Structure 1
Amino acid sequence: MLLIILGVILLIVGGVFKRTPSINPAYSPIISIVGVAMLLLGLSFSVFKVIDPGKVGVKTLFGKVDNDVLPSGLHLINPLVDVTTFDIKTQNYTMSGVTTEGQKEGDDAIRILSADGLEVTIDLSVLFRLKADQAPFVLQNIGPDYVDKIVRPVSRTAIRDNAVYYEAVALYSTKRQEFQDKIYKTIGESFAKRGIELQQLLVRNITLPQSVRTTIESKINAEQDAQKMQFVLQKERQEAEQKRIQAQGIADYQRIISTNLSDKQLQYESILAQKAVALSPNTKVIIMGNSKGAPLMLTDK
């Protein structure tokens, strides 16, 4: 459009120079030729419009937005029409406490107050895309900077509004998925009213206050110590039971022996023991007999 305006101006100037006797008439054709060239070049740029892949174009004529969307490709349009392009691919908007992440420099994490009055820090990533057929509505009602006007404030507000119903420890552990589902629904509904589709919501990190983290670590350590003690006690009970069974076995054996053995059986067992000693290669002296008188037998082996 600028080239067209400049070309028209140069053509007018060339005509003025041609009709002004005090100005060298040789300048007029040169100015006119440059004006025509710029006019033709501007018309070529204005008549043909290329929309890149993953984008759509919205036409505006004298401030009026056309509801017909230009898809990606080459288009022949009115040279007086302005075309605003919108990205309809999936976009990622991250709000993180890590200074090298996200669209904003520095710490951009979301700080909220939980139901128990503790400050919790949340890192969030929002995956979204602009609906192609809603691009004219966005241009007319929000503008090309819809990310800063809608995506960022709506996401941060939804986090804060829903976090007040949860205690800090619950957000960190048992209620984390429930919390994520709730804010997904809230943000998704708000985006849909404005021509934006929420595709995924990632609660990347939840940081609790240091005092709460210390309490949780102490509780975990105590639970681990209790589990360890439980294991030790169980092992000791098993060992005690094993010893009790062994003692019971010995007692039963002694009771059976004292009850059932006779003198003849004891004499027979003594003879077997003496025989085993006599057959031993290390035997030097063998004493045989009983309490009534026993001969002494010497062997040399």
Structure 2
Amino acid sequence: MDRLPKIALPVVFIAILAIILISKSAITIGSGEAGVLYKTFGGGVVTDEPPLGEGFHIVAPWNKVYVYEVRQQEVFEKMNVLSSNGLDIKLDGSAWFQPKYAELGKLHQEKGEDYVQRVLLPTIRSAARSVVGRYTPEQLYSSKRDAIQAEIFEETKRIVDDEYIQLNEFLVRDVTLPPTIKDAIERKLKQEQESLEYEFRLVTAEKEAEKVRIEAQGKADANRILSASLTDKILKDKGIDATLELSKSPNSKVVVVGSGGDGLPLILGNN
């Protein structure tokens, strides 16, 4: 009975120590996350093995795990850039991105947990300034927004691909021009629209006039051909046929063949 307390004390101590070690060693990686293992006595950041995936992991208490979100994320950026003619333009954009899963260890080792601020955003700003500087304010305001968006995406992607970042999309949210420039562009666009509408009406009227001319010419050509084909003999034959048809009517009449002034049959009587 005297030995029990002496035995129980070390057991309790070992149990408590085990609980502490397990609590320090247990790591849970959440959904959409991955862990980079840092081995204090084993060469530092592990880059030659896949990162720790979602779920429960036991890690030696002297090691560390850095958790990263690996699902697609979005970052917003407001930028002041210059157009091709030196005007100040405000550009609002957002990027869809995620760290490259297989290279998460290298990203942590070379760029760190704040890689968005260190790498992604500076690259987006540089690409936006380079791309916007090729266009005029009129192009930025109207027809070239999709082209600008695509070019910023391509230039940013080309750089961050080598920095262990996967860029999925870049979106231009808004382009703000100086008020005076914006008003001038809107007036110009309105005038161009009115000019296009006027040209359309002119073209439509010209097509209608051409249609009328073609129809009139067709009728004139048809009448000319018909007149050329109606010889005296054909006209007499047509007159004889018409007279004979008329003579068949039930009314009494006298038909004198060849007595007309033009040699056609003469019909006498109408009763």
Q: What TM-score range do you get, normalising by the shorter chain?
A: 0.5 to 0.7
Q: What's the TM-score once normalised by structure 1's chain length? A: 0.62
- 2:135 paired with 1:166: yes
- Per the TM alignment, residue 77 of structure 1 is displaced from its structure 2 partner at its CA by 2.0
The one-letter code of the counterpart of 2:60 is N
The one-letter code of the counterpart of 1:166 is Y
Q: Hey, what does 1:298 align to over in structure 2?
A: 270
If asked which structure has higher relative contact order (CA below 8 Å, sep 6+), I would say 2
Which runs of 5 or more residues in structure 1 are unaligned?
1-33, 96-107
Equivalenced residues, count: 246
1:284 and 1:196 mapped to 2: Cα distance? Answer: 110
Q: Hey, what does 2:126 align to over in structure 1?
A: 157
The one-letter code of the counterpart of 1:116 is N
Residues 13-162 of structure 1 aligned to structure 2 (within 5 Å)? 41-59=19-37, 66-68=44-46, 70-72=51-53, 73-95=55-77, 108=78, 110-118=79-87, 120=89, 122-132=91-101, 134-139=103-108, 142-162=111-131
Q: Hey, what does 2:204 align to over in structure 1?
A: 231
Q: Hey, what does 1:244 align to over in structure 2?
A: 217
1:128 and 1:74 mapped to 2: Cα distance? Answer: 26
- Provide the secondary structure at the position in 2 that maps to 1:245: helix
Q: Deviations over 1:65-104 (max 9, x none)?
A: 9211641143322324342201222323345xxxxxxxxx
1:37 and 1:111 mapped to 2: Cα distance? Answer: 61
- Per the TM alignment, residue 114 of structure 1 is displaced from its structure 2 partner at its CA by 1.6
- 2:184 paired with 1:211: yes
Q: Percent identity?
A: 20
1:286 and 1:232 mapped to 2: Cα distance? Answer: 59
- Provide the secondary structure at the position in 2 that maps to 1:173: coil
1:85 and 1:68 mapped to 2: Cα distance? Answer: 13
2:14 and 2:190 mapped to 1: Cα distance? Answer: 78
The one-letter code of the counterpart of 1:216 is L
Indicate how the Cα distance of structure 1 residues 53 and 243 shifts in structure 2: closer, same or farther if over 3 A, else same: same
| Equivalent pair of 1:134/1:195 in contact (CA under 8 Å) | yes
- Per the TM alignment, residue 175 of structure 1 is displaced from its structure 2 partner at its CA by 8.1
1:117 and 1:287 mapped to 2: Cα distance? Answer: 101
| Equivalent pair of 1:126/1:200 in contact (CA under 8 Å) | yes
| Equivalent pair of 1:60/1:82 in contact (CA under 8 Å) | yes
Equivalent of 1:277, from 226, 246, 251?
246
Equivalent of 1:222, from 172, 176, 195?
195
2:185 and 2:43 mapped to 1: Cα distance? Answer: 54
- Provide the secondary structure at the position in 2 that maps to 1:246: helix
Please report the RMSD computed on the Cα atoms of aligned residues, expressed in angstroms. Answer: 4.1
Which runs of 5 or more residues in structure 2 are unaligned?
1-11
- Per the TM alignment, residue 155 of structure 1 is displaced from its structure 2 partner at its CA by 1.3
1:284 and 1:45 mapped to 2: Cα distance? Answer: 132
- 2:242 paired with 1:261: no
- Per the TM alignment, residue 240 of structure 1 is displaced from its structure 2 partner at its CA by 0.5
- Provide the secondary structure at the position in 2 that maps to 1:235: helix
